[in-house]
Structure 1
Amino acid sequence: MNPTLPPLRALQAFECFGRLGSVNAAARALGVTPGAISQQLRLLEEHVGVVLLVKDGRRATLTPAARAYHELISQGFGRLMLAQDYILAHKQSEELTISGFPTLMQKWLNPRLPEFQATAQDLAIRVISTHQEPDPHMLEQTFRLTYGEAARRYLHSRALFTDCCFPACSPEFLQRHPEALDPAVLARLPLIGIDWGGGYTTEPHWRDWFESQGLGELPPIRPVAVHSMSSLALEAAIAGQGAVLAQGSFAAEDIRAGRLVRLSEASLHMPDPYFVCWGPTTLDRPVARDFLNWLMRATKPLRSRTVQSS
């Protein structure tokens, strides 16, 4: 007996023949000719060195040994079908995973997600907030929302929008300090800073905004607090701790709800856009394509606004 495994086609023909009971039925199931099935069955007998079929009148049937062999082969093909069902279910899963910078996810994406979910009611969305960029090779079934140069890591990406920054504070802070509407005075009031980290050196800070107002020589700018996350800086401003140089996309909901007020129409553009990135197989699923199309529609007004103000 040959110790190596028989050819897969021969095993498949044998499994199908034993399950359906005839050469013709196996041929129809596998989309081949009856002659091809008979050939594969003979090949399998030669490989294992055991008689598997006997003639019963005009029909061929399995020998007792072949029936036991067929049961084991069927279990193997059953496991293969389960594996195929698993991978198809994984590929077609109605779960969409989106990762991104924490404040971008919390302040920009989350308020808009219900609009998308209303069009895909059975969809489960997994939202992962992290500053750490995932391995591009692992971005197969997910989207990544990121900023600037980080988008170059990924195989596919599209620019979403370029944000802008402007001073904002709580209504209570403005009531206590109505002079905050004057940029020259604002520079001497409590300010909240945002630390972008060492990898970001050209993003706007308070001094950049004040210099853009042509104020000349500025006093030392010492924020009362510096936060590593924009969302925390916005929360500190909402609590009345000071004014913040807010990103428009992050502060929009708080301004709309009256938790923040804009202190000036003057703004500074961020040096780079935000991006949506995805892997080589992400768009194989219709739900992923739907999400990307929705995302590009949702950010179209922001892209148009950037072009008009350039």
Structure 2
Amino acid sequence: MNPTLPPLRALQAFECFGRLGSVSAAARALGVTPGAVSQQLRLLEEHVGVVLLVKDGRRATLTSAARAYHELISQGFGRLMLAQDYILAHKQSEELTISGLPTLVQKWLNLRLPDFQASARDLAIRVIATHQEPDPHMLEQTFRLTYGEAARRYLHSRALFTDRCFPVCSPDFLRRHPEACKPARLAHLPLIGIDWGERYTTEPHWRDWFEAQGVEDIPAIRPVVVHSMSGLALEAAVAGQGAVLAQGSFVENDLRAGHLLRLSEASLQMPDPYFICWGPTTLDRPVARDFLNWLMRVTRPLRSRTVQPS
């Protein structure tokens, strides 16, 4: 017996013949002539070196060994059909997956998604909030919202906007510390810190902001609490634990709702923009292209905004 796999067309003809019971029926199902089916069956017998068909009167039937062989072949073709159904459903799925940095997703994207969903009512959106950057090779039909250098790892990316930072606090904190509106006095009040991690060394911190405001004799800044997530730092500020150097895109809703108050119009620009990234097949689906076009429209005013003076 030949140890290599038989030709796929021969296996397909054999599977179809065994399932439908005749050469003519198999030919109609495959869209070929009966002679072509018979030829493929003979090729299969020659390849495996086993008699698969015997004549029963004028009809050909499977031998006992061929029936067992056919059952196994049918299972294989069944799995192939399931795989094909899966990939078609995956390609045509009306589900959009977006992975993003937690606070960017929570405080910025979530505020805007209803606007996109209003124009795509049957679309299900899966949002994954994680600091972990996906494997670029696995980013097939998923968008990734990320920051700075991390975008370079992906095949496709576009800059969304570059954020700015300024101090905010809760109304209760400002009532207890009305001097917080003065930078020199704010430096001596309870401050909340954000730890960007080892990879990010140029992002604004409290000392950068005080120096930009010309504050002299800046004290050794020891935040009352340091968070690794901007969202947690903002929650601490809303709870009145201290002032935080917040990103404008993350606090717009809290400012609008009155949960936080801006302490100064002076701001510092982030050194890098936020990006949307995607893989080689992400834009194969119309819903993905629609989402990308929508997001670029939404962020166009942010990209065109002139750099404000510190």
Q: TM-score, normalised by structure 1?
A: 0.86
Per-residue CA distance 1:149-204 (angstroms, 9 max, x = gap): 11111222111111000111112222333332222332233322222122211111
Q: Look up the match of 2:277.
A: 277
One-letter amino acid of the structure 2 residue matched with residue 105 of structure 1: V
- What is the correspondence of 1:162-173 to structure 2 with a 5 Å cutoff? 162-173=162-173
Matched-pair contact (CA < 8 Å) for 1:53–1:62 = yes
Cα 1:4–1:246 shift into 2, 3 Å:
closer
One-letter amino acid of the structure 1 residue matched with residue 290 of structure 2: D
Q: Look up the match of 1:266.
A: 266
Determine the C-alpha separation between the residues in 1 that align with 2:155 and 2:215. Answer: 44
Q: Look up the match of 2:100.
A: 100
Determine the C-alpha separation between the residues in 1 that align with 2:224 and 2:74. Answer: 72
Per-residue CA distance 1:37-68 (angstroms, 9 max, x = gap): 332122123334415253855xx533554566
1:104 partner SS: helix
Cα 1:192–1:24 shift into 2, 3 Å:
same
Q: Look up the match of 2:11.
A: 11
Matched-pair contact (CA < 8 Å) for 1:2–1:49 = no
Q: Look up the match of 1:46.
A: 46
5+ long unaligned stretches in structure 1: none
Determine the C-alpha separation between the residues in 2 that align with 1:161 and 1:24. Answer: 64
Q: Look up the match of 1:116.
A: 116
RMSD (Å) for aligned C-alpha atoms:
2.7
One-letter amino acid of the structure 2 residue matched with residue 54 of structure 1: K
2:111 partner SS: coil
Q: Look up the match of 1:61.
A: 60
Q: Give the count of matched residue pairs.
A: 307
Matched-pair contact (CA < 8 Å) for 1:163–1:273 = yes
2:245 partner SS: strand
Determine the C-alpha separation between the residues in 2 that align with 1:158 and 1:274. Answer: 9
Q: Look up the match of 1:74.
A: 74
Cα 1:153–1:13 shift into 2, 3 Å:
same
Cα 1:170–1:28 shift into 2, 3 Å:
same
2:252 partner SS: helix
Offset at 1:121? 3.8
Matched-pair contact (CA < 8 Å) for 2:192–2:233 = yes
5+ long unaligned stretches in structure 2: none
Matched-pair contact (CA < 8 Å) for 2:51–2:63 = no
- What is the correspondence of 1:226-305 to structure 2 with a 5 Å cutoff? 226-305=226-305
One-letter amino acid of the structure 2 residue matched with residue 50 of structure 1: V
One-letter amino acid of the structure 1 residue matched with residue 60 of structure 2: T
Determine the C-alpha separation between the residues in 1 that align with 2:268 and 2:2. Answer: 76
Determine the C-alpha separation between the residues in 1 that align with 2:107 and 2:62. Answer: 70
Matched-pair contact (CA < 8 Å) for 1:209–1:267 = yes
- Give identity over the alignment, percent: 82
Determine the C-alpha separation between the residues in 2 that align with 1:89 and 1:101. Answer: 28
Q: Look up the match of 2:196.
A: 196
The question of 1:174 aligning with 2:174 is answered: yes
Determine the C-alpha separation between the residues in 1 that align with 2:173 and 2:292. Answer: 39
Moved more, 156-165 or 274-283: 274-283
Q: TM-score, normalised by structure 2?
A: 0.86
Offset at 1:233? 1.6
Determine the C-alpha separation between the residues in 2 that align with 1:226 and 1:70. Answer: 66
One-letter amino acid of the structure 2 residue matched with residue 295 of structure 1: L
Q: Look up the match of 1:144.
A: 144
Moved more, 161-170 or 73-82: 73-82
1:111 partner SS: helix
Offset at 1:90? 3.6
